[in-house]
Amino acid sequence: MADFSTNIINLRFREIFKELEKHNIIRGKSDLANKLDTYNHVINSILKGKRNITVDQLHKLFEAYNVNANYLFGLSHQKFREGGILQGALETFPVEDREFGQNANIFLVSDKVRAGYAIQHQQPNYYDELPKFSLPNISGQNLIAFEIDGDSMMPTITDNDLVVCEPLERDTPIYDNHVYVIVTDVLVAKRVQKIKKGDQVQELRLISDNHQVYQPYNVALEEVKQLLKVKCRLTSYAIS
């Protein structure tokens, strides 16, 4: 059985659980399981390092208890956002650390939110409802992190990895064989090759790295609602 006990997110999830219990915000695993839309045994497995917390569960944790996303990713000592349920705990940390979250530049799109992303991302104020975090050396404004579902891009991107992406303007050059997130009626991560008619790009050929299982296919450029360049990935798989 895999050992997830050293995963920084799981380690800090345990600390959040202890804080919530200590201050009587929750009365045990059942309360937290209800808030995260899961089961007691799932919470127990995460706490014991037998499984990873999912992105969707993280999203619910941030929303239900005002947890600081940067704390979970190991980038801050502040467990809860200002104005949260444990406001007094903020006073124990230096000002510069408490302000770290204000520089968050990456929106987190959980698995369930991603299901409606293709339609909803163009709506006004859509991103205002999403949690944000930041990562060292990942610059840029309004980056977006998606959880990848499936094995079509293995071994480059594995199931449940997070990919941090930069949305591109329509006139931004597209580079063949680079990895992008392509939003049409669905959202996929693929390598891209341009297909031209004359001097104009008419279609994009979408290629999976797991090409022995998944065949390439084309989409018309006019069907692409958004194109995002993958800047990095976050994975919970250990190096072996």
Q: Angle CA(164)–CA(13)–CA(78) in degrees, nearest 5?
A: 80
CA 18, chain centre distance (Å): 24
**Residue 7 or residue 67, greater confidence:** 67
Residue 235, phi then psi, degrees to nearest 5 = -130, 150
Say how many Å lie between the first and final Cα of the chain, rounded.
14
d(CA 132, CA 68) in angstroms, rounded, equals 9
CA 151, chain centre distance (Å): 17
pLDDT digits (tens, 9 = 90+) for 21-71: 888 889 889 999 999 999 999 999 999 888 888 888 888 898 888 888 888
Q: Which of 158, 178, 160 is nearest to 168 (CA)?
A: 178
Count of residues in the chain: 240
pLDDT digits (tens, 9 = 90+) for 67-102: 888 888 887 788 887 655 554 433 333 333 333 345
State the DSSP code for 123. S
Please tell me the pTM assigned to this model: 0.66
What is the average pLDDT value for the chain, to the nearest integer? 84
Architecture of the CATH domain 106-234: Ribbon (2.10)
Q: What is the pLDDT of residue 88?
A: 41
pLDDT digits (tens, 9 = 90+) for 133-178: 888 778 888 899 998 888 999 989 988 888 999 999 988 999 999 9
Stretch (H or E) spanning 19: helix 8-22
d(CA 235, CA 163) in angstroms, rounded, equals 9
On the question of a common fold for 8-93 and 106-234, the answer reads no
Helix (H, G, I), strand (E, B) or coil at 41: helix
State the DSSP code for 38. S
- Domains of the chain, by residue range, sit at 8-93, 106-234
CATH code for residues 8-93: 1.10.260.40
Beta strands per DSSP E along the chain: 106-109, 132-133, 143-147, 162-167, 179-183, 187-197, 200-207, 217-220, 226-234
